Structure 1
């Protein structure tokens, strides 16, 4: 016979373990906040944009095929920007003491929709270094692409700048705390039901009938302090035994 659990029993279980549930949630949120604010290193992000567009001559005008060709070149340029040829020059120009793979992982190159604009984004714990890497990458690519592909159709559209409003992109303490709250709540509720499932002690008369399969002959009610004060013990009057003895004789 399958056992079913009612909504009332669920609420009773949660109510009984409410202190534990709250403690686990607060602990998870507190640990997440401490890690986000004091352990994780803030990461700043900045970006620069380059335009893939060959300058026309006086007798030349743009055509649809020229624009389509420039857009197709963007996929090739995205690979070249992150290639060792470009990034090794960036390392030398800035005097960076980090490997090519480390620098490569900091840079993200993506086209801006279907346009001819390419965005170079850089993440670094130092906002000044992030700006320098982004601008230097764009400059080196604009300079070296002429020799790499024998074309001159790249120009810098916008440069990365260091501003006072620049804030870390990670970590995000509020988001981390929100995730910790949800995870802590799920873990606390799951632990509460697990403890309730593993608890085999007899607490109610229903437990006796269900688990021990024994009939209930009677129930002794609990007495609170007011009931105990109301129930006065029987006291015999002094000399009552003597009076009763005289009546019997």
Structure 2
């Protein structure tokens, strides 16, 4: 992954990253509030030796103190020092337990010992630090005395007596919240990357290209107003989506130019990917360019094409296939566009058998002689075999991939089904491309090459309808 991939993940999953970060920060705040307060008292000891008369003896005494002080820091937490402290203060604990509260350190190249005492009670921390300092001074006099008659050459003095701490050292709200923010962002990014890795949904044209090597011949932006106005090429011919259908029409003219397929099946992997609206809008675009177009409602299970086009279809394709009607009698003109529509007719119990019959093949050949393009709106590939059957008797297949509907593995399975039967895949149309976010598609249109979005298209349609009413 490069920086653009990370940026895309962050842009797409920023809500998840924010939620994880806030959760970790909340846990850090809860930990801070519920953790007991710990206070720390400090005392500092100075180790000295008996001074000599000349500089040589002074230097030797200083070297002796520096060597000794390293061992003294370890002696502070021994029972020899702490047992008297426990007895003096009346503490109900052992020397080992008290030693865990005490930390003794020696600054480099000094004869000083810093003694730090932590306790939940600030006064107790100060009392223990004071008692340890005094007791250690007395213990060193006994330990360093060679005999009862000779004094100890080492003296430990308290140079910084402890004071009662006013603020706890733990928990530290600023540190805990800061760590929570950092840890939350890291966990949020990790969660977002993990989810993006395992998310196989098709959400953009890029995802389709990652899933398959097949050619993408068109991209249609998502428009939530599409169910109300499915024929965007007719209702708003200057919109971005209408221009995308015209671009798809142009691209189809150059796909498989050697064979120039005249009958094309439009299908998808699953229902709801927009194959029917794509079929209808493309047919209108082709007719607007002067082509003779016939649109067949080939979905004999859940036909919707005639409903989108505002037409009735009591008789249609099924009546032709079973010999109840002639082809010329069931073709319906769609307005003054030059498009002829062949509806599905009555829903049969055996759609796959009818669509794969010799009669269907002859019907398509007959229509190819009558029109420049025969476009068939077929059922999705995965729920039914109708489209794979049609792909064997037509010139080619166009797969519509709906962003946010189909997954990569489902798209691949549908493509493999067409490949298994030898279907001629002309390309993939990516539909429902997001207009916002990391997966948004950018399309430019117009004299000024200004970017148009679905929102702008809806506003323009509203203005057009308002002008028409006036």
Q: Would you call these one fold, judging by a TM-score over 0.5?
A: yes
Deviates more, 1:9-18 or 1:96-105: 9-18
- On the 8 A contact 2:49/2:62 being kept in 1, the answer is no
Number of aligned residues:
228
Q: Go from structure 1 to structure 2 and tell me whether the alpha carbon gap of 1:63 and 1:11 turns closer, same or farther (over 3 Å shift).
A: closer
**Change in CA separation of 1:155 and 1:225 when aligned onto 2, cut-off 3 Å:** same
Matched, 1:202 2:202: yes
Q: How has the CA–CA distance of structure 1 residues 208 and 73 changed in structure 2, closer, same or farther, with 3 Å as cutoff?
A: closer
Deviation at 1:221, TM superposition (A): 4.9
**Within 5 A, what are the aligned runs for 1:31-180?**
31-36=27-32, 38-54=33-49, 63-150=58-145, 151=152, 153-162=155-164, 166-180=166-180
Distance in 2 (CA, whole Å) between partners of 1:174 and 1:55 is 48
TM-superposed CA distance for 1:126, in Å, is 0.8
Distance 1:9 1:34 in 2: 35
Distance 2:25 2:124 in 1: 33
Structure 1 residue 88 displacement after superposition: 0.9
Residues 1:191 and 2:191 are matched in the alignment: yes
Aligned counterparts of 2:60 and 2:215: Cα–Cα separation in 1: 91
Cα distance in structure 2, aligned partners of 1:104 and 1:86:
10
Q: 1:9 to 1:47 in 2, by over 3 A?
A: closer
Structure number, greater radius of gyration: 2
Q: Secondary structure at the match of 1:118?
A: strand
Greater strand proportion: 2
Q: Which is bigger in relative contact order (C-alpha 8 A, separation at least 6)?
A: 1
TM-score normalised according to structure 2 size = 0.44
Alpha-carbon distance between aligned partners in 2 of 1:217 and 1:69, rounded to the nearest angstrom: 87
Question: Where in structure 2 are there 5+ consecutive unaligned residues?
Answer: 146-151, 237-307, 312-470
| Contact 2:78–2:95 (CA under 8 A) maintained in structure 1 | no
For the pair 1:231 / 2:235, whether they are aligned, the reply is yes
Q: 1:140 to 1:212 in 2, by over 3 A?
A: same
Superposed CA offset, 1:137-186 (max 9, x none): 111122232222211522222211225xx211122111111111111111
For residue 16 of structure 1, the aligned residue among 4, 8, 12 is 12
The Cα shift of 1:95 comes to: 0.9
> How far 1:220 sits from its partner (Å)?
4.9
Structure 1, unmatched stretches of 5+, are 237-249
CA distance in 2, matches of 1:196, 1:29: 23
The two structures, once aligned, show a CA RMSD in angstroms of 3.0
2:2 & 2:78 partners in 1: Cα distance? 63
Distance 2:156 2:81 in 1: 14
- Select between 202-211 and 94-103 the one with higher mean Cα deviation: 202-211
Query: How far does residue 208 in structure 1 lie from its aligned partner after superposition?
Result: 3.6
Change (3 A) 1:204 1:114: closer
More helix as a share of residues: 1
* Residue 27 of structure 1 pairs with residue 35 of structure 2: no
Compared CA separation, residues 221 and 32, structure 1 to 2 (3 A):
closer
Partner of 1:34, secondary structure, is helix
For 2:121 and 2:140, the matched residues in 1 are separated by: 28
Instruction: Report the Cα distance in structure 1 between the residues aligned to 2:155 and 2:310, rounded to whole angstroms.
Output: 112
Cα offsets for 1:97-136 (capped at 9, x unmatched) = 1222221111111224323222221111111011111110
Quickly say closer, same or farther: Cα 1:189–1:56, change in 2 above 3 A. closer
**Separation in 1 of the partners of 2:309 and 2:62?**
108
Pair 1:231–1:223, CA change in 2 (3 A): farther
Change (3 A) 1:180 1:102: same
- So what's the TM-score if we normalise by structure 1? 0.79
